[in-house]
Structure 1
Amino acid sequence: MIYVKVYRVQGEVVVAACDEELLGKTFREGELKLEVKERFYKGDLVEEDALEGLLSEATIANLTGERCVSKAVELGYVDEKRILRVEGVPHAQMARIMW
């Protein structure tokens, strides 16, 4: 399961999603720090498949965890070469250019 929170701000649709077990944790590696904050990510607890519909309407997405990031790669929203790993935890961001 994953946590998903959707923000709608000034015409943007921001999707924040993380694997359930990562919520509230902080990861550090060198100078990198990845905080999986509850106030940002904690929304609805859903199956990974729910990301398909959410990412299709998202203009921006922040994705953290193996399940979230893998699903976004599978759906073609994230390039595997653009995934950041902090203490082995994958994190990816997506921005859609709207013309």
Structure 2
Amino acid sequence: MYLKIHKSGNQMIVAVCDRELIGKKLKKGELVVEITESFYKGEIVPEEKIIEAMSNATTANIFGTRAVKCAVEAGLIDPGCVIYIEGIPHAQLYRL
């Protein structure tokens, strides 16, 4: 899985996605989401680093079966909050 961390001031946005999703454009009704290299393609890292980054994030944007499963199993995402876009699981995490 790819992990990319974006920092802005005291905000930390974490982008996580399954490798094969980079460059894909997904559609659901009028919603179009592009899984871009510039936002998602960071380093390939093990689950432990992904969980650590998501645990410290103010926001996380997560795409893919493995990535979302990792977040759910770590207790960071409620499975009921996962949506599917063209069959691909997607979840977001926000800390206020």
Please, what TM-score do these two structures have when normalized by structure 2?
A: 0.93
Give, in angstroms, the shift of residue 96 of structure 1: 1.1
Identity of aligned residues (%): 43
SS at match of 1:78: coil
Aligned to 2:63: 64
Higher mean alpha-carbon deviation, 49-58 vs 81-90, is at: 49-58
Deviations 1:50-94 (A, max 9, x none): 211111211110000011111111111111111110110011110
Are 2:86 and 1:83 aligned? no
Aligned to 1:45: 44
Give, in angstroms, the shift of residue 34 of structure 1: 2.1
* Aligned partner letter, 1:89: I
Unpaired runs of at least 5, structure 2: none
State whether residues 26 and 33 of structure 1, in contact with CA within 8 Å, keep that contact through their aligned partners in structure 2.
yes
* Aligned partner letter, 2:78: D
State whether residues 48 and 67 of structure 1, in contact with CA within 8 Å, keep that contact through their aligned partners in structure 2.
no
Paired residues in the alignment total 96
Aligned to 1:96: 95
SS at match of 1:76: coil
The separation in 2 between residues aligned to 1:81 and 1:54, in whole angstroms, is 22
Please, what TM-score do these two structures have when normalized by structure 1?
A: 0.90
Give, in angstroms, the shift of residue 46 of structure 1: 1.3
* Aligned partner letter, 1:30: G
Q: Which ranges of 4 or more aligned residues in structure 1 deviate by more than 6 Å?
A: none
